[in-house]
Structure 1
């Protein structure tokens, strides 16, 4: 599960595991698209894909690039930096064919952004943590408290809202809790330490680092909580324009990412080493990074072969949850979920 926007502060670099936006490395080994005499030909030519946000959970994009899976499928990929608005514009006009994102995109689709969920990426990568000594132990203890998030309307905000509302705590319009946005995960953790907020709903690795280095406690884990466990938090979104005009290209891109997911599933330690060595993320604690990558439950080859990826079901589940708490306006979740998801024959 990244995230469309992950604002990473420079202070993260001094932590045991931090994530920062960095330049990308080059592909390992022989380019399968090479055709001799120094010439390289790609069936689908050059494309831009967002892949410089430094997020650990975006590992399949990095690995598909580094292991040559994009090239094998006929693409000369240029990894770019792109915030959420850049991604929406690119998806709408077809200049960006594919992005990784989470159910934060669902309201954007309802508002007219022309994209489709075409596959699942991974499971949970968000935690809610409280500082050492906090009396907060359960969701009920959060009533009347302040919760830090990266942005109002973002995925940690939505995840926390779903969790709270299912426990009878009204999150909408700050009725029973108050959400406080922080543009940097380190600042959010510092605010919790200072008592400016009572809990931090936050992306990995910040929550895991706070637990390991600052004795914070986890009161919610997206990967294990019963409301979310075993479900995709992050999906792959394709441009509707590209889907309509070049469906074979989208299928080829999905094959490349699926290969990367399977490779990460089988080689989590090697994946972390590549991501670290190639400076996609600034990782100094590889053991923790490997633990996090494993927790994301990237699909295996067997999962893909047997169809054990439950993307359509997860889309409907989260559409219903977001509609139930008023974050989606639709009065027909099943119809909207059918609009959001499109199965691609790979």
Structure 2
């Protein structure tokens, strides 16, 4: 018993990913954790992007791990979600890396444990626009629906940065997605960062075209867009529970990849994915819910380096130290 406790203590010091348990050891350790037997709050803001949380709940993947979970509807946008996970109002949530990475680096109490999926947002211009490359947007307006410092601006800045364009040379205008489309038609803005699901009807109708994309461009389509996040105190106090939560999430992701039609139908039946079922299914199939930890870690590393290059993260901070601070792909299969 003493040997086991010493090993468990060492695991806590090294992080969950450094220590593998047998099933018997895992069960014994889990029973001693504060979260064992209590209801775990899963923060979910609805929508297709984070649908794995709903599927894990509805299809019994959390239950299969012995977990008692409750899906809590999030409110207040990204800031409300970050506050909820950072302060422990919810135990687990997910969102864009572009939304959560900077707060995590700057001290919000959260740890990332797995990627959720690739793709989902692109930079759009009117189909008849003279804008052909991101360089043509220098000195022009780009609409960002979720505001200054939000995921839309952060994603857009990475597009420009990858194309060797200083994002400070772009003019930014906050505009809700529908208004952004109208503003592009009127020439009030020249481009807009939009969710692919929202923009698809305009793409299909020939009104918009994609200039740059997380979903389709070679330098971004292998990256994780959204990420699974756990409150840091919960992570420190409940390493086995965190492993179980992450394992259930990944099992749900694998099921969704194998059963896309049923996944979409299930989410829509529970009002967790809105829109025309055919369109939603088409968008669903552009996401890779099976994105692995290697790709997710590479995304975090690339994003940190990009953010350092244009001042969103202190350039003096070591990228590998920041990775260790925010990321632990916990051991899921011993």
Task: Give the alignment's TM-score, normalised by structure 2.
Answer: 0.82
Which residue is 2:273 aligned to? Answer: 281
Asked whether 1:326 is paired with 2:317, we answer no
**Which of 105, 108, 133 is matched with 2:128 structurally?**
133
Counterparts of 2:154 and 2:79, CA distance in 1: 19
Which residue is 1:23 aligned to? Answer: none
- Aligned residues of 1:46 and 1:78 also touching (Cα < 8 A): no
SS of 1:310's equivalent in the other structure is helix
- Aligned residues of 1:48 and 1:80 also touching (Cα < 8 A): no
Asked whether 1:255 is paired with 2:240, we answer no
Counterparts of 2:94 and 2:37, CA distance in 1: 20
**Which sits farther off after the overlay, 236-245 or 105-114?**
105-114
C-alpha deviations, 1:6-36, integer Å up to 9, x for none? xxxxxxxxxxxxxxxxxxxxxxxxxxxxxxx
**Which of 84, 92, 108 is matched with 2:86 structurally?**
92
- Aligned residues of 1:119 and 1:235 also touching (Cα < 8 A): yes
SS of 1:90's equivalent in the other structure is helix
C-alpha deviations, 1:56-93, integer Å up to 9, x for none? 11110111121122222212313322333333333233
For the aligned residues, what is the CA RMSD?
A: 2.0
SS of 1:147's equivalent in the other structure is strand
**Which sits farther off after the overlay, 63-72 or 236-245?**
63-72
Counterparts of 1:162 and 1:266, CA distance in 2: 32
Distance 1:54 1:87, change over 3 A: closer
Counterparts of 1:214 and 1:54, CA distance in 2: 29
Asked whether 1:291 is paired with 2:277, we answer no
Which residue is 1:314 aligned to? Answer: 299
SS of 1:169's equivalent in the other structure is coil
Distance 1:100 1:323, change over 3 A: same
- Aligned residues of 1:71 and 1:77 also touching (Cα < 8 A): no
C-alpha deviations, 1:161-218, integer Å up to 9, x for none? 111123232213xxx2101112x32122122122211111112312223212452111
C-alpha deviations, 1:34-67, integer Å up to 9, x for none? xxxxxxxx9532232222x332111101111211
SS of 1:205's equivalent in the other structure is helix
- Aligned residues of 1:264 and 1:271 also touching (Cα < 8 A): yes
SS of 1:129's equivalent in the other structure is strand
**Which sits farther off after the overlay, 272-281 or 79-88?**
79-88
SS of 2:70's equivalent in the other structure is strand
- Aligned residues of 1:146 and 1:178 also touching (Cα < 8 A): yes
SS of 1:57's equivalent in the other structure is coil
SS of 2:212's equivalent in the other structure is strand
Asked whether 1:81 is paired with 2:77, we answer no
Counterparts of 1:193 and 1:48, CA distance in 2: 43
In proportion to residue count, which structure has more helix?
Answer: 2
Unaligned runs of 5+ in 2: 1-34
- Aligned residues of 2:307 and 2:313 also touching (Cα < 8 A): yes
Which residue is 1:110 aligned to? Answer: 105
**Which of 324, 328, 333 is matched with 1:342 structurally?**
328
Task: Give the alignment's TM-score, normalised by structure 1.
Answer: 0.79
**How does 1:1-346 map onto structure 2 within 5 Å?**
44-51=37-44, 53-73=45-65, 74-83=67-76, 84-103=78-97, 104-150=99-145, 151-172=147-168, 176-182=169-175, 184-213=176-205, 215-284=207-276, 286-299=277-290, 309-331=294-316, 332-346=318-332
Counterparts of 1:115 and 1:93, CA distance in 2: 9
- Aligned residues of 1:44 and 1:249 also touching (Cα < 8 A): no
What is the CA distance between 1:294 and its match in structure 2?
1.6
Counterparts of 1:160 and 1:78, CA distance in 2: 31
